[in-house]
Amino acid sequence: MAIIMDGNGRWAKRQNLSRNEGHRKGAENIPRVVEAFAQYQVKYLTLFAFSSENWDRPPTEVGGILSLLGEAADREVEGLAEFHKKGVKLLHLGELQRLPPEIQEKARKAIDLTSANDRITLSIAFDYGGRQEVIKAVKKILEQKISPPILTPELFSSFLYTQHIPDPDLIIRTGGELRLSNFLLWQGAYSELYFTPVLWPDFSPAEVKKALLTYQDRKRGFGKLSEH
């Protein structure tokens, strides 16, 4: 499963709060959504937290998001977060180099701390872009001088950020927009899509259930004729 967490800013506007307060509320919603998926025995969940294009947002907003990321990493390192207590394994998808050094170090420690957990793997896509991911993979393939005849979709996938996790069966987008916004472009080739007008801070366990029930009714053919 994968989620484009959209709507923090609009949620804040409706509450007469700052956009950073909306992002804080959105961050607070992550643990309960992760727990809801874990209770349904979903083993892999990817959250789109910050795109490579988001750096162009106002500096105060970007700074607020980075501050929230640092706070979350601190909680993991100190062993206080519910993620670690509940067996969540953390991974990062995207680039770390553009983050402040102290946040890079905190993120690595959080990933190391939770590396043995196996209840659910939570991948945070931060400074992530689908096109950039594909270009980076192509560059690695060229650098290794891999022969075109042996290049397969499976081999190509091994050069992506997501090499250690399966492709998502379902991609959810909150907030009402009907696009993928450069998220998991390769991996989502045959993913089912679910769009909801519910803003991310309001995306509750009940909404998780609704999305999963909708997915349960889908017939997936992967390009072939369905038998149903």
Beta bridge partners of 91: 123
Position 8, amino acid: N
Are 61 and 19 in contact, with CB atoms under 8 Å apart? yes
Catalytic pick from 54, 74, 167, 182? 54
Polymer length in residues for the chain: 228
Q: Nearest Cα to 160, choosing from 93, 90, 91?
A: 93
Catalytic pick from 6, 8, 20, 127? 6
Residue 6 annotated among the catalytic residues of the structure = yes
Position 133, amino acid: E
Residue 20 annotated among the catalytic residues of the structure = no
Cα 228 from Cα 226, distance rounded (Å): 5
Give, for 205, the enclosing helix (H) or strand (E): helix 205-216
Tokens 């789109």 map to which residue? 48
Token pair, residue 104, equals: 């890079």
Are 225 and 31 in contact, with CB atoms under 8 Å apart? no
Provide the annotated active-site residues.
6, 54
